[in-house]
Amino acid sequence: NIFSPVSGSRSSKTFKPKKNIPEGSHQYELLKHAEATLGSGNLRQAVMLPEGEDLNEWIAVNTVDFFNQINMLYGTITEFCTEGSCPLMSAGPRYEYHWADGTNIKKPIKCSAPKYIDYLMTWVQDQLDDETLFPSKIGVPFPKNFMSVAKTILKRLFRVYAHIYHQHFDSVMRLQEEAHLNTSFKHFIFFVQEFNLIDRRELAPLQELIEKLGSKDR
């Protein structure tokens, strides 16, 4: 039954707590701008740096937004992504991911998809909550290494999309979330392409889909 309370709360079920951008801040204004341009339906235009804005800040706001989107998308299918169904973190038969974050886990470890995604989303959350990396206060400068951190975050978030598409797309279809997933992923891809944030090699598991999404917008 579509109207059962369980499915009603489905769309608001996130995997990790949502990361909020403080209201009234400049970043909040930027987020509102991003949402407004997205509404126009032209995603290529929506990802472009607004005139006169700081690139780091634009990337920061969008990175938080993508974290929240993926958090929600994965939240809808966590019950299908289990130790039993996904003993390895993979994106199809040719791509398998091993987790390392360079601090707590230095040597990459093989683990199940739910475990991997838990590590990954917790790690991203820690970066987003770090005021020295993602300053939320006006006038606090972004650190020198901001771009490389943002690239690592986006590269890792991509893996969650890749896993969902390869291993759980049938569940996504059953839940009628595929339009939501496709729009979110397309927005993500256009964004990382616009600013050259993820290496092509990393995008290989979803290359065909990426080409298909891009060809519709030429």
Domains, the chain, ordered by start: 70-215 (1.20.140.30)
pLDDT bin (cut points 50, 70, 90) of residue 150 is very high
Average pLDDT over every residue of 86-106: 94
CA distance 173 to 24: 37
| pTM greater than 0.85 (yes/no) | yes
Give start and end residues of each alpha helix (H) in 97-195. 113-129, 146-174, 178-194
Q: Which has the minimum average pLDDT: 21-30, 66-75, 89-98?
A: 21-30
CA distance 79 to 101: 25
- Predicted local distance difference test score (pLDDT) of residue 43: 87
Q: Is 168 annotated as a binding residue?
A: yes
Could you report how far apart the first and last alpha carbons of the chain are, in Å? 40
Q: Which of 104-118, 125-139, 140-154 has the lowest mean pLDDT?
A: 125-139
Q: Which tokens go with 63?
A: 């990175």
Predicted local distance difference test score (pLDDT) of residue 7: 37
Nearest to 183 by CA among 50, 39, 27: 39
∠ CA 10-12-18, nearest 5°, is 140
**pLDDT score of 25:** 86
- Going from the C-alpha of 119 to that of each of 24, 76, 146, 151, the distances in angstroms are 31, 18, 21, 17
pLDDT value for 217: 58
Tell whether the model's pLDDT for residue 10 goes beyond 70: no
Is 81 annotated as belonging to a binding site? yes
Is 98 annotated in a binding site? The answer is no
Q: What is the pLDDT of residue 40?
A: 73
Q: How confident is the model at residue 12 (pLDDT cuts 50, 70, 90)?
A: low
Q: Is 52 helix (H, G, I), strand (E, B) or coil?
A: coil
Q: Mean per-residue pLDDT for 86-97?
A: 96
- Quote the pLDDT of residue 192: 98
